Structure 1
Amino acid sequence: MANLPPSHYPDIGQIGEDLVAQWLESTDWVILHRRFSCRWGEIDIIAQHHDCNSGKNAISPNFTQYPTLAFVEVKTRSFGNWDAGGRSAITLQKQTKLSRTAGIFLAEFPQMADCACRFDVAIVYCQPISKQPRQLTTAHQALISASVAGYQFYLQEYIPAAFDSAMDS
């Protein structure tokens, strides 16, 4: 069987990001930017959430809670991959690049400077549909799944505030 040209295969990473963006929107996040890039690197998804408790609250009636910005790194991997579903690919060097890129985003959009910021990681698994279906290897149920271009995708884990900002140190 001849190898198909690379253009024949879907962009697995893009589809994984689409799945995560869809899930974020279904949980009341607003997608501000996809694949934001600068000289430091790229952030897959930048999303904003207005908490239900925005505005006045019982603890401090004059306190106004700012929206939360999530800088989301999406790791899409096949089952049995070498890097723990993408977790071990989030090295200190990668975290520093993400932090610097987030800083550039905030400099370009100063109206977001007062938002609470965090770095989230989304773990997406994919497998070809044509193969014998496998059980998910973790005890957690997928947050969302989709079949696209002959593959089954599962948002297996979403890790809010997965690492501290390298800018904070």
Structure 2
Amino acid sequence: MRRTPQIRAGIWAEQRALRLLQQAGWRLLAQRWSCRWGEIDLLLHKPDRLLLVEVKGRQRRGADGWGAASLRGGKRQRLAISLGLWLQEHPSYQNCRWEWVCALVPLPPNRSPVRWLPWC
């Protein structure tokens, strides 16, 4: 599979977000896990907690607010179904409390910090 510049930028953004979360004590369970309903960018674990992370990498703020505008109802619903399917495959995590967050990752040459948006 050929990696386009957009795919490489997305992978870079995911890796940046992942490094920050691992430094905060989160352990990676899944990265780019996909099913017919969608893809989970990052899924991490701390004792009794799961963190689902949607990563949006952008070089500059555009009309979509660094990618935050893409997090509307349909996307959230598809991710909830995807998480449910992941949990069916990994039943030992079913009793964990889970949280969703969006990581808005500025791409080079932008050196701004990652913005973390709780996604309720």
Q: TM-score by structure 2 length?
A: 0.89
- Which residue does 2:51 correspond to in 1? 70
Q: 2: distance between equivalents of 1:135 and 1:20?
A: 14
Residue identity over aligned pairs, in percent, reads 28
Instruction: State the number of aligned residues.
Output: 118
List 4+ stretches of structure 1 deviating above 2 A: 6-10
Structure 1, unaligned stretches of length 5 or more? 1-5, 51-66, 129-133, 137-141, 143-154, 164-169
Q: 1: distance between equivalents of 2:11 and 2:3?
A: 14
Matched, 1:158 2:116: yes
Q: 1: distance between equivalents of 2:100 and 2:4?
A: 33
Matched, 1:25 2:22: yes
Q: CA RMSD in A?
A: 1.9
Q: 2: distance between equivalents of 1:135 and 1:26?
A: 19
For residue 81 of structure 1, report the CA deviation from its aligned partner.
1.9
Q: 1: distance between equivalents of 2:70 and 2:24?
A: 26
Which amino acid letter does the alignment assign opposite residue 64 of structure 2? D
Matched, 1:44 2:25: no
Q: Which has the higher helix share?
A: 2
Q: 2: distance between equivalents of 1:79 and 1:159?
A: 17
Q: Does the 8 A contact of 1:72 with 1:119 survive in 2?
A: yes
Which amino acid letter does the alignment assign opposite residue 39 of structure 2? E
Structure 2, unaligned stretches of length 5 or more? none
